[in-house]
Structure 1
Amino acid sequence: MDLQKSDRNPIYYQDAGTLAKMIRDRDISPVEVMKAHLDRIEAFNPAINAIVTIADNAMEVAKKAENAVLRGNELGPLHGVPFTVKDSIDTANILTQRGSPIFKGRIPDSDATSVARMKQAGGILLAKTNIPEFSYWIESDNLLSGRSNNPWDLSRTPGGSSGGESAAIAAGMSPIGLGTDLAISVRGPAAQTGIVSLKATHGRVPMTGIWPRVPRRFWHVGPMARSIRDLQIAFGVLSGPDGLDGFSSSNYLLNGGVGSIPDRKLRIGWMVGPGFGPVDSEVIKTVEAAADALKSLGLLVEPVGIPALERDFALDVFNRLHVMEMKKAFREATAGRSQEELYKMSKTMLSLPDTSMEDFIDAEQAAERLKDGFAGYFSKYDALLTHVLPVPAHKHGVESFIINGQKVDPTYLQGATVPLNITGLPGIAMRFGTSKEGLPIAVQIVGSWLNESTILHIASLLESVSPVRGLHPGI
């Protein structure tokens, strides 16, 4: 599909922060905003298949939000703004089917903590978005709701496992939403569709009400949007303990404002390897361009290496650590169900051999070495700039890639993202380039633990000089 760039975006391409301000200023009503997005879904979702369930009370809640504005009530930072939610995240009285016929018709009684907080900030649940079966693969495809397509090119994937969410936001069907990330799943889809996303430090945002919850030390829930400002707003809304998720219990995690930006020139290292696997030349050039842009803004930027990533290949470490725990969850969910109800990844996961205890312990020690390696790096640098994916969005159903002459399987797409899940480090995905085929290319900004404030600041600076800011799919 063709590119479009406009200085006067229609309602459905305004970011959430802009919509919230327009609503507060009474320049537009929540009802008008909701109708614009519902109309957009009606027009374009049949081709993209990002939305799987529309909240049947969305317009009713929008009318209540409009009345609150007219009464002069105190308004939250997202008052009247629609938001969408990945279909693995519980939503009270709204279908949450986890991408599987096994959970067809499932309606939770309560909201996930992240959903409840978006509502408390004034956001209005608009719809649920498509995922892979059980939120587990790099494509968003399943037997229950089918395959999602990339709005930039329908023959390509919007990624997984938050691919429906990324496609909905990129196509103007939603201004902001929630995804989850086990190894790649908010950052990869954002990169493939040209939007932005944040995987915060592990534990910053509670995982309560999200399935599967194993291995919990790797799972994250995070915001996806079209501007860095929206990530800042959402992070402030979402972060902090809820008294239910033990990984989010620290008093140091009370709000998104924890941490400050150093009062000096920030020092940033950039790298595309070694330690991440092969990377396409167009992607490398985009990372180099982002590094040059940050340098032009007065930051101290230089190429770096992280020896720990070369010693322990993070993707291999991840695979040895998570399989047994995920297999148990899949086995429990599919017990007594017919093979016809299972899609590709459930069958694949259940067929994988268990990791031996010796390999598991070795992998746990490798994970600690990776954490130590990043700790050493961040004692010298404020952030790390790298790629998100080694290639732009790929065609549906690709089973292997040739990247710089090396043949790799699809799991290699996670080479630069999975280190952050193993270590719990925060990272932002944002577009900064375009492939020769007109597809988005993104960079990843990584920070030290609990230092979201710095990477959000750096991302905002980079966004201000981005050559692709304001581009949308031409649909």
Structure 2
Amino acid sequence: MADLTRLTAAETAERIASGAVSAVEVAEAHLARIDAVDEKVHAFLHVDREGALAKAREVDEKRARGEELGPLAGVPLALKDIFTTKGVPTTVGSKILEGWIPPYDATVTRKLKEADVVILGKTNMDEFAMGSSTENSAYGPTGNPWDLTRVPGGSGGGSSAAITAYEAPLAIGTDTGGSIRQPAAVTGTVGVKPTYGGVSRYGMVAFSSSLDQAGPCARTVLDAALLHSVIAGHDELDSTSIDQPVPDVVAAARNGSVEGLRVGVVTEFRGEGYQAGVLQRVDETVELLRELGAEIVEVSCPSFTKALAAYYLIAPSECSSNLARFDAMRYGLRVGDDGSHSAEEVTALTREEGFGDEVKRRIMLGTYALSSGYYDAYYGSAQKVRTLITRDFERAFSQVDVLVSPTTPTTAFPLGERADDPMAMYLADLCTIPANLAGNAAMSVPCGLAPEDGLPVGLQIIAPAMADDRLYRVGAALEAAHQARWGHPLLEEAPSL
């Protein structure tokens, strides 16, 4: 039998539904793979072996009874440790929630279970999703399976590394400023940030509420679309959830074509700070789009140059507000509660020990930006820039159907290289942040290996809000064309662990 961990999610589901393989066999194969390689990769913070096998047995029993199985029934998945999971630890990569067992499921978790997806466990992440490398996790960094001395991106590096290392065919991530797309780019996988409000945030531990968005991570565009269709949709428990039909992303992924599409190339996303090999692969892919029948248009979005500055005022401000709930009084870590300290002192001691450096940095930035006398100068001005960025998108989408750019300015950088330089770390999300500020849909797809270092390069595709299907249409067309040229999926070039 072929290695079950090398199958796509679509292939795995088909084999389970036909009875060619059992869901238990598939789950056991992936659990064995985790046992074999995760000590090196460190993609997982918690492996729910018992729960995964129980769900797999349930799927096999349904098939034996002749019940119709969903499109991802029995397929294993790695879940970012930012979603609450009833009876399973949720830490958000932070010591302040170490050992916390949620009493309820996030909406995304519930939908996965209802679709009979087998959740293998919870993946490593930058603490509270604050970071671009997964080095800010309180539980240690994750390695990039292409080169374990390099970062797997962040904040969802554990999810991207898990699918790259064949520990799971699917994963869920969250994207506040690029934390799904950026890890996808540097690991040679597919990552999608749906339209803001397209996937429920209920039960997803909040970092920046106006930016956070859950989305799918996969090795193929079709697999991402199948997962997207499972987790998307309106949720009354989330006041920001969009009450509209979900775009047919699966049909778009199955029938990818760019014939007749107008594709805009963002002129602001190149120049100083961009790796030559990244721009080379992106330019080659733009030319490929032209060959496939797309019309290529140069588009200028001048406000995008201010996006990074605006983001690092808006996101920390919302973080300052959201993380105030971690006060040692209700749940999680409690330090100094020996009767010798006041409640305020217990809170201060707990937050000092429980939060890492990057979280503290952003709380302080946000608190300052929201303080009396500075609100209008900082937070208010950032929101005005956000409006300008949204208007730039509106003008661009009046001319073109989608926008494209590099996903990241560089390939995966070495672990530790930017640990002491927050600004250099923040620049990793330079190209991805505008889509979060405007709430648009965006995807990263592999477009080759950089000639300098042989590491993956990602192309970012951006579509208007609620036009997520355009991402999959373009992504699927590029995936097919690239693989026809390469003769195999890009991940087959990754070194074996």
TM-score normalised by structure 2 residue count: 0.87
What residue number does 1:227 align with?
220
> How far apart are 1:259 and its partner, in Å?
12
1:386-418 deviations in Å (ceiling 9; x for gaps): 11100000111222899xxxx962211111100
Cα distance change, pair 140–264 in 1 and its aligned pair in 2 (3 A): closer
Q: Give yes or no for the alignment of 1:395 onto 2:414.
A: yes
In the alignment, structure 2 segments of 5+ residues that lack a partner are 328-346
Residue identity in the other structure for 1:339: E
1:35 aligns with 2:51: no
**Distance (Å, rounded) in 1 between the aligned partners of 2:42 and 2:480:** 32
1:428-467 CA-to-partner distances (Å, cap 9, x unmatched) read 1111110232211111011111101112101000000113
Aligned residue runs from structure 1 range 263-302, under 5 A: 265-271=260-266, 273-274=268-269, 278-302=273-297
Q: Describe how 1:72-111 pairs up with structure 2 within 5 A.
A: 72-111=66-105
RMSD across aligned C-alpha pairs, in angstroms? 2.4
After superposition, give the CA deviation of every residue in 1:305-356 in whole Å (9 maximum; x if it has no partner): 223325xx11111112222221233344253406343322123223436122
Counterpart AA for 1:328: S
Deviation at 1:258, TM superposition (A): 8.3
> What aligned pairs does 1:244-323 form with structure 2 within 5 A after superposition?
244-250=237-243, 252=244, 254-257=245-248, 265-271=260-266, 273-274=268-269, 278-310=273-305, 313-323=306-316
- Change in 2 beyond 3 A, CA 1:63/1:154: same
Choose the corresponding residue for 1:348, options 361, 375, 393. 361
Post-superposition CA distance 1:257-281 (Å, at most 9, x none): 2899899711101235258973111
Please state which structure has a larger fraction of its residues in helix: 2
Give identity over the alignment, percent. 29
SS in 1 for 2:405: strand
Which residue, out of 444, 450, 469, partners 2:489? 469
Q: Which residue of structure 1 lines up, in the alignment, with residue 455 of structure 2?
A: 439
Between Structure 1 and Structure 2, how many residues are aligned? 459
Q: Deviations over 1:149-173 (max 9, x none)?
A: 1111111111111110100010000
Inter-partner Cα distance in structure 2 for 1:259 and 1:357: 44
SS of the residue 1:443 aligns to: strand
One-letter identity of the residue aligned with 1:237:
V
Q: Which residue matches 1:456?
A: 472
Distance 2:2 2:431 in 1: 33
Residue in 2 aligned with 1:5? none
Between 10-19 and 260-269, report the one with greater CA deviation: 260-269
Distance 2:285 2:70 in 1: 34
1:229-249 CA distance string (max 9 Å, x none): 011111211111110111114
CA deviation profile, 1:117-170 (whole Å, cap 9, x unmatched): 122222111111001112211121356422111111111111111110100010
Gaps of 5+ in 1: 1-7
Q: Which residue of 2 aligns with 1:195?
A: 189
Determine which of 429, 438, 442 is the counterpart of 1:423: 438
Q: Quote how far apart the aligned CAs of 1:25 are.
A: 1.4
Query: Which of 313, 319, 322 in structure 2 is aligned with 1:326?
Result: 319
- For the Cα contact (< 8 Å) 1:139–1:158, is it kept in 2? yes
Partner Cα distance (2:153, 2:437) in 1: 20
